[in-house]
Structure 1
Amino acid sequence: MHEVLFVTSEMYPFSKTGGLGDVMGALPLSLHNKGVNTAVITPLYGRMNLDGNKVRLVYSDLHVGYPWSPITAEIYQVDYHGMPVYFVGRGEYFDRRHYYNTHTGDYFDNCERFIFFCRAVMKWARLLPEPPAVIHSHDWQSSLVPAYLHYARYEESFWKNTKSVATIHNLAFQGRFSGRLFNDSGLPMSAWHMDGAEFHGDFNMLKTGIAYSDAVTTVSPTYAEEILGPEFGCGLEGILAKHSGKLLGILNGADYKVWDPRDDKFLPCCYSSANLKGKRECKKTVLREFYMSDQLEDRPVLGFIGRIRDQKGVDMLIDIIPRLMEKEIGLIVLGEGNLMYEAQLLELMESYPGRLSVQVGYTEDLAHAIQAGCDIFLMPSRYEPCGLTQIYALRYGTPPVATAVGGLCDTITPYPSPEATGFTFAKADKKLFLSAIEQALSAWEDRESWMKMVQRAMDKEFSWDRSADEYIRMYRDLGARI
């Protein structure tokens, strides 16, 4: 019996575009290691990293019935560290270069793709010898599953004891589509109302999951409070307030098996809070790798890793780069997204050779190298449900400068506290951002005090072990048999 079946559109190391993939690569395994019988189901994309795992077909011709009656899916399986991971296969939906979109925008058939995925999940789960105790869906791509389960309970006793949980990793992405597409979802018309799937005449898949799940979680306590108001509620603050009694914020953890400078396969030299010599070697290496001036070995080097878009405050960073370059510092940027911002960053790089390096794209090895080789990490997010890169930065001894929002508030102790692990500024404003960086640069000059902050940051613990215990308590509070 699968006590908890996770439903997700991505899972590291198989697929990843951001934090969701990292979370799904760590949380299910953490529960599994605590004795919870977990499994994960996710799409079989054409561009996947199988990481040496053998994939086998376990079921063919699974009748899904959408968008036309004969359509079927294949179910594949990998045994991942002793935990089953299932993959829903259907070439025309998932065998694409990207998961959700290209630079020109979202795939036109995303609604159809993920209705198909959610229906396939329910069809596959119905074939299991016993129903899961909990089906735990993540973000809009799997948010129809709680609604399907809600209505299935009325039709089949098989589902009567199965509980549903919907986790919001980023409320801004809701899966909002034309209202006419609701008719293809397979949900009854009784779900089409303002407290259900309907949202200003449109079909909103995330809202549907919020309305019909037994519990809703977000990925940090502060974000769970923020989304109840209009500033961060993205138009869903009303439905969230209506269901606030089942809303819970559980802080994400970091997978320290992957992100730990004491044992990191991507680093030329490992290090710890007790012995930081290796961090200086990592800095020398990253400067060479990004063609930065050797003179920066003795000056602060700032790093940014993230999606190049407004949410991450990239526009603010672009605006202050000329001011930063006056301060004899270095800056390394890694990410991809908005083509205009990418072009602006690349143009600025030409103006500051050896001082500013921009790498469009993302690779794990470069992300680890930047975390280890930089002195200060920048995270000027307009909103941040949890954030993982600042948690990684703490562990790598790279104090973050971040906006005081969401999970950034829950993970960073701001300067000038005696227990400071980083720097925060009140809101997404480029003047406040620049001022916070200047504060960090000033603190960096006091080498003894700075090294103590670095050590405090590295010794902070945000493991999945703690978060997994909170999820187990929540499942049991719902009455799940775990």
Structure 2
Amino acid sequence: MRILHVAGEGLPFIKTGGLADVIGSLPKELARKGNDVRVVMPLYLKIAKNYHQDFTFEKEYAVYMKYDWVPVRLYSCFHDGVTYYFIEHQGYFEREDLYGYMDDGERFAYFQQAVVEMMNQVDFFPEVLHCHDWHTGMISAMIKENHRDDYRYASIKHVYTIHNMAYQGNFGADMLESCLGLPYYLLDNGTVRYDGGISFMKTAILYADKVTTVSPSYASEILTPQYGEHLEGVLQMRQYDLWGIVNGIDVETWNPANDPKIPYHFNKVNVKANKKKNKLALQEEMGLAQDENVMLVGCVSRLTWQKGFYLLMEQLPQLCAMPIQFVVLGSGEGALEEKMAQLEEGNKGKIVFYRGYNEDLAHKIYAACDLFLMPSLFEPCGISQLISMRYGTLPLVRETGGLRDTVTPYNEYDKSGNGFSFTNYNSGEMMHVLGNAVDVFYHHPNDWRTLVRNAMNTDVSWEKSANDYLRLYHELTGN
């Protein structure tokens, strides 16, 4: 099957969030199963600096933007069985950050125009065009409205994946015709209209043949006002075409048995001994008191309201009084960063905060910690809890979205489970479950070892999820 993924970012080339992990893993797994899989994304400044010398120049062509022809330079490379295309425009994409600019609507309108024409330029018309998040939301509309008489485009089946409802790509209506080449009657009849402007995500939901999101629970949650971000009515119209398929992780990159970023490798047999060695090494590196027997709790996350950090802020005295050490890696809201820095300052040797992101340190935290804290307000899927289980670090999560679908809470009677969880977004409830986890760690070590084994036996690979996507593709195409 010919499959083209379109995304705003993707590993191994660039990453700001979980979308990049999916693009780095799912296409590779689909290719491994014998499909012709290709990916296209913008050629950002950081990609150009690190990889441009490895790319092959493919084509130069132009798209019609703002009543003029704007050039496109297309590059490619082949990696892990997947062909990657990169859309180059220095003005639009060679900037320090990927998103967050006043002209984001124009930038990604150009990207989408370039992708649609790219298929013609390289003569690759996929059976399935799989678009991801708001950056690609107008592509299905552009193809169905502007190329309906071209059988090469008309035969394409369209899948659209929502990775996070909170980011929808809402822009002014003036760009509909000038940047996207779409007629204004789509605004008048309400198809693309949202809050006085246009919505990339709303448009994608309406035009795609199938809509997916990254866990079954999140697929149900976004049909409600609490999680639908004002698009729940549109999603309800498409609910019978809405699939929830949980993400996996790249189990080759995330493998404690041979991870080059951790000092001591381990598997299910020697996890107890070598986790303690990794713990001592991390404690020394981060300035924590060295004690192989203390419970080490980790968190690798964006410091935002979504990730549940305000629950922690409500319980700081109780958290500091617990017989645990706490290591946090991340950045985000200034107030949360400042509070975490103050927390470290007042609890030297017990709590440490690394502001920013460090990939090597992230691997060490997953390998060294006993418990991984993830009390999210909402979580479409989540990657960190999957990685932590792979490394024998038990996740403590709130039961929402993909966290509910992947983490089974500890049952003291039959010793089942692969982590801990709490139901309501409530700091007292979170601390109760954290206290239970601390009790199991110190007073029921056999139960803890069983949970670790259960976690490491959990299938967090892309194997099953890739098969689910293929089943969806085949259902769409009829082959």
TM-score of the superposition, structure 1-length normalised? 0.95
Task: Give the distance between the partners of 1:8 and 1:350, measured in 2 at CA.
Answer: 40
Task: Give the distance between the partners of 2:299 and 2:240, measured in 1 at CA.
Answer: 37
Structure 2 equivalent of residue 439 of structure 1: 436
Structure 1 equivalent of residue 102 of structure 2: 108
Are 1:120 and 2:117 counterparts? no
Structure 1 equivalent of residue 316 of structure 2: 321
- 1:378 pairs with 373, 376, 379, which one? 373
C-alpha displacement of 1:211: 0.8
Contact 1:67 1:112 in 2 (8 A): no
Contact 1:150 1:213 in 2 (8 A): no
Task: Give the distance between the partners of 1:332 and 1:434, measured in 2 at CA.
Answer: 17
C-alpha displacement of 1:480: 5.7
Task: Give the distance between the partners of 2:328 and 2:186, measured in 1 at CA.
Answer: 45
Task: Give the distance between the partners of 1:198 and 1:330, measured in 2 at CA.
Answer: 50
Structure 2 equivalent of residue 294 of structure 1: 290
Task: Give the distance between the partners of 1:351 and 1:193, measured in 2 at CA.
Answer: 58
Task: Give the distance between the partners of 2:13 and 2:219, measured in 1 at CA.
Answer: 29
Q: Secondary structure at the match of 2:77?
A: strand
- 2:338 pairs with 335, 343, 351, which one? 343
Task: Give the distance between the partners of 2:194 and 2:169, measured in 1 at CA.
Answer: 11
Structure 1 equivalent of residue 411 of structure 2: 416
Task: Give the distance between the partners of 2:397 and 2:424, measured in 1 at CA.
Answer: 9
- 2:358 pairs with 352, 359, 363, which one? 363
C-alpha displacement of 1:380: 0.7
C-alpha displacement of 1:50: 4.4
Task: Give the distance between the partners of 2:128 and 2:188, measured in 1 at CA.
Answer: 26
Q: Secondary structure at the match of 1:334?
A: strand
Q: Secondary structure at the match of 1:232?
A: coil
Task: Give the distance between the partners of 1:195 and 1:229, measured in 2 at CA.
Answer: 21
**Aligned in 2, Cα 1:333/1:53: closer, same or farther, shift over 3 Å?**
farther
**Aligned in 2, Cα 1:68/1:364: closer, same or farther, shift over 3 Å?**
farther
C-alpha displacement of 1:187: 1.5
Q: Secondary structure at the match of 1:155?
A: coil
How many residue pairs end up in the alignment? 473
Task: Give the distance between the partners of 1:14 and 1:367, measured in 2 at CA.
Answer: 18
Are 1:333 and 2:346 counterparts? no
Task: Give the distance between the partners of 2:159 and 2:64, measured in 1 at CA.
Answer: 25
Structure 1: 5+ residue runs without aligned partners? 101-105
Task: Give the distance between the partners of 1:298 and 1:195, measured in 2 at CA.
Answer: 61
Task: Give the distance between the partners of 2:102 and 2:327, measured in 1 at CA.
Answer: 34
Are 1:468 and 2:466 counterparts? yes
Q: What is the identity, as a one-letter code, of the residue corresponding to 2:155?
A: N
**Aligned in 2, Cα 1:421/1:153: closer, same or farther, shift over 3 Å?**
same
Task: Give the distance between the partners of 1:283 and 1:194, measured in 2 at CA.
Answer: 60
Q: Secondary structure at the match of 1:332?
A: strand
Structure 2 equivalent of residue 449 of structure 1: 447
How do 1:43-442 residues align onto structure 2 when only pairs under 5 Å count?
A: 43-48=42-47, 50=50, 54-60=54-60, 62-100=61-99, 106-184=100-178, 185-193=180-188, 196-276=191-271, 277-295=273-291, 297-416=292-411, 418-442=415-439
Task: Give the distance between the partners of 2:88 and 2:410, measured in 1 at CA.
Answer: 49
Q: Secondary structure at the match of 1:127?
A: helix
Q: After the TM superposition, which parts of structure 1 deviate over 3 Å for at least 4 consecutive aligned residues?
A: 49-53
Q: Which moved more, 1:415-424 or 1:389-398?
A: 415-424
Identity of paired residues, percent?
A: 35
Contact 2:247 2:462 in 1 (8 A): yes
**Aligned in 2, Cα 1:195/1:3: closer, same or farther, shift over 3 Å?**
farther
Q: Which moved more, 1:81-90 or 1:121-130?
A: 121-130
CA distances 1:206-233 after superposition (whole Å, capped 9, x unpaired) = 1111110111000011111111111111
**Aligned in 2, Cα 1:165/1:449: closer, same or farther, shift over 3 Å?**
same
Task: Give the distance between the partners of 1:354 and 1:132, measured in 2 at CA.
Answer: 55
- Name the Cα RMSD after superposition: 1.6
Contact 2:32 2:81 in 1 (8 A): no
Contact 2:256 2:390 in 1 (8 A): yes
Task: Give the distance between the partners of 1:195 and 1:406, measured in 2 at CA.
Answer: 30
Q: Secondary structure at the match of 1:87?
A: strand
**Aligned in 2, Cα 1:353/1:173: closer, same or farther, shift over 3 Å?**
same
**Aligned in 2, Cα 1:289/1:195: closer, same or farther, shift over 3 Å?**
farther
CA distances 1:407-441 after superposition (whole Å, capped 9, x unpaired) = 01110111226311111111221111111111111
Task: Give the distance between the partners of 2:111 and 2:73, measured in 1 at CA.
Answer: 11
C-alpha displacement of 1:157: 2.1
C-alpha displacement of 1:128: 3.0
Task: Give the distance between the partners of 1:382 and 1:330, measured in 2 at CA.
Answer: 24
CA distances 1:176-231 after superposition (whole Å, capped 9, x unpaired) = 12233333321222322565211121211111111101110000111111111111
Contact 1:196 1:212 in 2 (8 A): no
Task: Give the distance between the partners of 1:3 and 1:363, measured in 2 at CA.
Answer: 36
C-alpha displacement of 1:443: 1.1
Task: Give the distance between the partners of 1:195 and 1:285, measured in 2 at CA.
Answer: 58
Q: What is the identity, as a one-letter code, of the residue corresponding to 1:97?
A: E
Q: What is the identity, as a one-letter code, of the residue corresponding to 2:392?
A: G
Contact 1:312 1:379 in 2 (8 A): yes
CA distances 1:230-288 after superposition (whole Å, capped 9, x unpaired) = 11111110000001111001111111011111121111011011221221111111111
Q: What is the identity, as a one-letter code, of the residue corresponding to 2:467?
A: D
CA distances 1:42-82 after superposition (whole Å, capped 9, x unpaired) = 0101013747981121112x211123412111111111123
Task: Give the distance between the partners of 1:158 and 1:122, measured in 2 at CA.
Answer: 12
Task: Give the distance between the partners of 1:154 and 1:298, measured in 2 at CA.
Answer: 65
Q: What is the identity, as a one-letter code, of the residue corresponding to 2:5?
A: F
Task: Give the distance between the partners of 2:62 and 2:358, measured in 1 at CA.
Answer: 37
CA distances 1:347-376 after superposition (whole Å, capped 9, x unpaired) = 111111111111111122111110111110
Q: Which moved more, 1:149-158 or 1:354-363?
A: 149-158
TM-score of the superposition, structure 2-length normalised? 0.96
Q: Secondary structure at the match of 2:25?
A: helix
CA distances 1:367-415 after superposition (whole Å, capped 9, x unpaired) = 1110111110000100010101001111111111110000011101112
How do 1:21-60 residues align onto structure 2 when only pairs under 5 Å count?
A: 21-48=20-47, 50=50, 54-60=54-60
Q: What is the identity, as a one-letter code, of the residue corresponding to 2:118?
A: W
Q: Which moved more, 1:109-118 or 1:273-282?
A: 273-282
Structure 1 equivalent of residue 7 of structure 2: 8
